[in-house]
């Protein structure tokens, strides 16, 4: 705690606190000569303003919150980078909250935001989140919220997403072109927007391509690792197992590679795999993983920019808009493309 306050600085300079405060804020009411005097005195005494006194009075915290399911994920960590880059530039601080995919936790976090602790919120909802009523309440309390990647239908606000439907569609087309007749969609619970849209793209592609519907066409993974493994193992151990797999979220990739090793299923010969992921090591995997690479940094940056646009308005209101940033399908050997020169 910086022991030196405005009052002390004022006394040291034989000025009033009002004058010093205004001088430090570069107010037009103060003449240049005293401003420089104050600046100098502040530097000399090592004055650092108390942010809480300031926030209390100004009703603004210079802080935003980022709430997301987890941080140990290449998409989210890159998105944080994007967010941080603009927060830094705007002179804002960023609080981070992890929901670990639990709705209850997400609700508790949002409840806190009604206090005005943060000026704005960036959120990627948990896989349990449905209605978004808790987020609506935050918006109602006057703090702008923008969704990124995983959005929520209820609250009308800005969201920055990728072209989930189209990416998924393209992925299935690529799987089919690589010889798949029976691809499986591996997803989180489908109340999640991204799962829903990716699933729709998957199904539309299936229909358009005239691929036959089959059992285990869609596998839903929950939070229990063992159960997920069992589910996937069962699907892959069938008489007519799937010959392609579209993995909806990064952390499920390891299940697939793990089980294929265990069950001696050769990728891509017996099973072709595509995953939504930003893993830098995808190209060095065995075999190199075909990915739907999302512009994670860009999404974070764009979402943050949208938030700050709202914060700069007097009304703090945010446009109800959907910003779509395209993902790229990066073809590698896990779908049977050229066996040499990965990358």
Partner DNA sequence: CGGCGTTTCGAAAACGGTTTCGTAAATAAA
Partner DNA sequence: TTTATTTACGAAACCGTTTTCGAAACGCCG
**Whole-number Å distance between alpha carbons of 20 and 42:** 9
6 binds, among its own copies, DNA, none (CB under 5 to 8 A by kind): DNA
Q: Cβ(187)–Cβ(195) under 8 Å?
A: yes
Which H/E stretch holds residue 122?
Answer: strand 120-123
Confirm or reject binding of residue 156 to its own copies (CB under 8 A). no
| Residue 105 to residues 115, 227, 300, Cα–Cα distance (Å) | 17, 23, 22
Q: How far is the CB of 89 from its own copies (least distance, A)?
A: 12
- Indicate the pairing of strand 328-330 with strand 290-293: antiparallel
Nearer to DNA, 59 or 280 (CB): 59
Q: Is 49 in the site for its own copies (CB under 8 A)?
A: yes
Between CA 132 and CA 316 the distance in angstroms is 20
Stretch that binds its own copies, among 125-133, 167-175, 246-254, 305-313 (CB under 8 A): 246-254
Applying CB under 8 A, among 18, 27, 40, 53 the residue interacting with its own copies is 53
231 binds, among DNA, its own copies, none (CB under 5 to 8 A by kind): none
β partners of residue 274: 246, 290
38: which DSSP letter? H
Residue 119: how many other CB atoms lie within 10 Å? 24
61 contributes a contact to its own copies by CB under 8 A: yes
Q: Report the partner that residue 71 touches, choosing among its own copies, DNA, none (CB closer than 5 to 8 A by kind).
A: its own copies
Q: What is the DSSP string of 80-106?
A: HHHHHHHHHHHT-EEEEEE-TT-HHHH
Q: Does 317 bind its own copies (CB under 8 A)?
A: no
In 3D, which of 153, 87, 111 has the Cα closest to residue 320? 153
Q: Which residues bind DNA (CB under 7 A)?
A: 2, 5-7, 14-19, 21-22, 24-25, 29-31, 33-34, 47, 49-50, 53-54, 56-59
Q: Is 132 in the site for its own copies (CB under 8 A)?
A: no
Least distance CB 279 / DNA (angstroms): 44
Q: What is the DSSP letter of 289?
A: P
The CA distance from 269 to 279, in Å, is 23
| Min dist. Cβ of residue 90 to DNA (A) | 17
Cβ at position 64, least distance to DNA in Å: 19
Residue 320 vs residues 16, 24, 131, 157, 180: alpha-carbon distances, Å: 46, 37, 17, 4, 40
CB of 169 to its own copies, least distance (A): 26
* Number of residues located near its own copies, criterion CB under 8 A: 57
Q: How far is the CB of 275 from its own copies (least distance, A)?
A: 11
Q: Which does 281 bind (CB under 5 to 8 A by kind): its own copies, DNA, none?
A: its own copies
* Paired strand residues for 185: 218, 246
Residues lying near its own copies in the complex (CB under 8 A) are found at 1-3, 46, 48-53, 55-56, 59, 61, 63, 70-74, 77-78, 80-81, 84, 93-98, 111-112, 114-117, 141-143, 251, 253-254, 257-258, 261, 279-281, 284-288, 341-343
């Amino acid at each position: 705690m910086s022991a030196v306050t405005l009052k002390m600085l004022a006394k040291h300079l034989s000025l009033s606190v009002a004058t010093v405060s205004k001088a430090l804020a570069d107010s037009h009411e103060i003449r240049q000569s005293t401003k420089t005097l104050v600046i100098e005195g502040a530097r000399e005494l090592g004055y650092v303003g108390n942010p809480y006194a300031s926030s209390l009075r100004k009703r603004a915290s210079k802080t935003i919150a980022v709430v997301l399911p987890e941080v140990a994920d290449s998409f989210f960590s890159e998105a944080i980078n994007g967010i941080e880059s603009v927060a830094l530039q705007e002179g804002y601080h960023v609080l981070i909250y992890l929901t670990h995919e639990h709705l209850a936790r997400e609700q508790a976090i949002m409840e806190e935001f009604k206090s005005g602790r943060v000026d704005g919120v960036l959120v990627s909802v948990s896989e349990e989140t449905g209605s978004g009523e808790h987020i609506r309440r935050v918006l109602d309390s006057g703090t702008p919220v923008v969704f990124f990647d995983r959005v929520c239908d209820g609250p009308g606000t800005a969201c920055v997403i990728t072209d989930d439907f189209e990416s998924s569609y393209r992925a299935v087309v690529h799987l089919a072109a690589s010889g798949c007749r029976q691809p499986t969609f591996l997803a989180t619970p489908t109340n999640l927007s991204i799962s829903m849209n990716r699933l729709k793209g998957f199904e539309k592609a299936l229909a358009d391509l005239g691929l036959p519907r089959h059992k285990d066409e869609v596998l839903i993974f929950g939070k229990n690792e063992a159960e997920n493994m069992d589910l996937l193992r069962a699907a892959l151990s069938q008489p007519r197992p799937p010959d392609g797999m579209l993995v909806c979220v990064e952390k499920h990739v390891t299940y697939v590679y793990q089980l294929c090793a265990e069950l001696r299923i050769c990728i891509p010969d017996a099973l072709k795999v595509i995953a939504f992921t930003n893993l830098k090591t995808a190209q060095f995997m065995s075999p190199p993983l075909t990915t739907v690479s999302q512009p994670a940094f860009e999404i974070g940056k764009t979402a943050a920019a949208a938030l700050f646009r709202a914060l700069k308005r007097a009304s703090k209101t945010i446009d109800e808009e959907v910003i779509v940033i395209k993902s790229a399908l990066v073809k590698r050997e896990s779908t049977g493309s050229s066996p040499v020169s990965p990358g």
